[in-house]
């Protein structure tokens, strides 16, 4: 006798890596608990309309992947580009689609069945389930697979292997070349003293001048500095690392690193953000992360499993609908 059909889940975003990872990460965590077919949907808007307030963007101006019936059982969306659709999905589906939005949507909460924002946003409500950090795509299985893919390049590197994950300019933080160079010298001194190697990955937001300064300063160390070409070794770097350093500008980067259970250190940038300070303070309170001060070892901590916790809550609410 056939069992129940798999859940149909759409993970909806604008396709930017950090945003899409939140929707896909939560969808994949649900699929680890229950048979499901996960489909990524990437949203675009015509003629720069995506820069308008979401209420002013007509759904008919959408481009990108098709968004049309049959509607999914669960819609998981991330980012402001999805709001013109997410806020209408309950109506379009006659309430049959369970609508989930990550981050603080800055939209009426009644448009969603569940909102999963970071704790440091301070959002509350009956349908709000805050988590520390952001949903991500990490799992022990994924890390093992990615490590195996890159084992020929990573296997001979000396320990401790130090992953350095570099973000960049944002509304609150900046990474000028001068700070990037100072940061690189601090990292290089610690790695040389430990006799280790580096695994460096930049993001799209890393300013070119900062990238060049750090690359020059770190190039004489054993290890790999990914130049952005070929397969992305980001998850393999996290899996191979004995310690992980991330810049302070990104919730996603810190959450990914904290999900590994590896020693985690935060690299200071220019600028400040009260929200990020609350986030880092909570990581510190739990013994997960601390500011980088030249050390590469730290006491063990329980790896973050906030995506798994959110997936369990999502299914509990999905199953409990009238």
The CATH number linked to 146 is 3.40.50.2000
Q: What would the pLDDT profile of 187-201 be if each residue is shown by its tens digit?
A: 999 999 999 999 999
What pLDDT, on a 0 to 100 scale, did the predictor assign at position 1? 44
The count of structural domains within the chain is 2
List of the chain residues with pLDDT < 50: 1
What pLDDT shows up at residue 109?
97
pTM of structure: 0.90
Q: Is residue 297 part of a domain?
A: no
> Where does the chain show beta strands of DSSP type E?
7-13, 36-45, 62-64, 74-77, 98-102, 114-116, 161-166, 173-174, 197-202, 223-225, 243-247, 264-267, 270-271, 289-291
**144 and 278 co-located in one domain:** yes
Task: Give a yes or no: residue 277 inside a domain.
Answer: yes
Domain containing 23 equals 7-132+307-319
**In a domain? residue 300:** no
Calpha distance 316→31 (Å, rounded)? 14
What CATH number did the domain enclosing 124 receive? 3.40.50
How high is the pLDDT of residue 293?
96
């Amino acid at each position: 006798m056939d069992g129940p059909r798999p859940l149909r889940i759409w993970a909806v975003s604008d396709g930017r890596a950090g945003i899409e990872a939140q929707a896909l990460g939560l969808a994949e965590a649900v699929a680890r608990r229950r048979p499901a077919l996960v489909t990524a949907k990437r949203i675009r808007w015509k003629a720069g309309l995506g820069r308008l307030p979401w209420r002013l963007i007509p759904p008919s101006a959408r481009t990108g992947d098709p968004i049309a019936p049959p509607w999914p059982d669960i819609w998981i969306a991330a980012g402001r580009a999805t709001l013109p659709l997410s806020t209408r999905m309950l109506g379009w589906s006659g309430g049959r689609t369970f609508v989930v939005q990550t981050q603080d949507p800055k939209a009426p909460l009644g448009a969603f069945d569940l909102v999963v924002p970071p704790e440091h946003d301070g959002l509350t409500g009956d349908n709000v389930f805050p988590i520390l950090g952001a949903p991500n795509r990490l799992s022990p299985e994924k890390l093992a697979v990615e490590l195996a893919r890159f084992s020929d390049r990573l296997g001979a590197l000396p320990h401790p292997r130090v992953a350095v994950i570099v973000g960049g300019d944002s509304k609150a933080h900046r990474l000028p070349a001068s700070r990037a160079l100072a940061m690189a010298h601090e990292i290089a001194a610690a790695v040389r003293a430990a006799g280790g190697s580096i695994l460096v990955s930049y993001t799209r937001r890393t300013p070119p001048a900062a990238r060049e300064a750090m690359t020059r300063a770190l190039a004489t160390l054993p290890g790999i500095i990914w130049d952005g070409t070929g397969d992305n070794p980001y998850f393999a770097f996290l899996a191979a690392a004995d310690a992980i350093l991330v810049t302070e500008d990104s919730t996603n980067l810190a959450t990914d690193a904290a999900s590994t259970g590896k020693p985690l250190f935060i690299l200071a940038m220019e600028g400040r953000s009260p929200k990020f300070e609350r986030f880092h303070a909570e990581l510190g309170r739990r013994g997960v992360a601390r500011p980088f001060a030249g050390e590469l070892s730290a006491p063990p901590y329980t790896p973050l499993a906030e995506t798994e916790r959110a997936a369990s809550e999502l299914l509990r609410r999905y199953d409990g609908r009238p």
